[in-house]
Amino acid sequence: MKELIENVPSKLDYKKRSEKVCFSYPGNQNHFQTGYYGIDADVSIAGTLHIKFSSSKPLLATKIELILKGYEKVEWVETYGKTTITYSANDVFLNQPLQLWKTSDPNGDYEKIQIMDIPFEIKLPENLPPSIKIDQGEGKINYKLIANISRKGN
């Protein structure tokens, strides 16, 4: 992205990163959460999804959605004499999609997208656990915000 977009997550915060698609935080914040969880009634994850493709190679898409996922993982090793056993468990406890954009084509065909800035807000359900990492990662709870673009390969 040639223009500077302010209030963006660090490059290290992205699992998969693109120069053509990025997030920005709302207003002057340095995080997506709006409100205080456990104190305010309406707490959400908010920001803007920025899409910037060239006119010579636009994005061909039918749908853009966000998914807020919450993960929990536990793993530890126990040794009994010469035997080592690894115990582990994983779970997705939150999977909250939000459709941001859908093609206006009546046949559902791909539309060309060059520049699009899409604000978003996902209301958080009550009683979510906080992000945490215990004992060098033996137990952890974390959240991911995923942009899912139904697109045609360029």
| Residue extents of the structural domains in the chain | 11-152
Query: What string of pLDDT tens digits covers the 154 residues of the chain?
Result: 445 677 889 888 888 888 899 999 998 899 999 998 888 888 999 999 999 999 999 999 999 999 999 999 999 999 999 999 999 999 999 999 999 999 998 888 999 999 999 999 999 998 899 999 998 778 999 999 999 999 987 5
Phi, psi angles (nearest 5°) of residue 11: -55, -30
pLDDT of residue 11: 87
Helices (H), ranges, 50-103: none
Q: Which residues have a Cβ under 8 Å from the Cβ of 4 and sit 6 or more positions away?
A: none
SS3 74: strand
92 SS3 class: strand
Cα pseudo-dihedral 25, 30, 33, 34, rounded to 10? -80
Nearest C-alpha neighbor of 121 from the set 150, 102, 99: 99
Indicate the CATH number for domain 11-152. 2.60.40.640
pTM comes to: 0.85
Given this model, what pLDDT does residue 2 score? 46
Amino acid 1: pLDDT? 43
CB-facing half-sphere around the CA of 110: CA atoms within 13 A: 13
Helix, strand or coil for residue 8?
coil
Q: What are 56's two structure tokens? A: 């010579």
The pLDDT value given to residue 63: 97
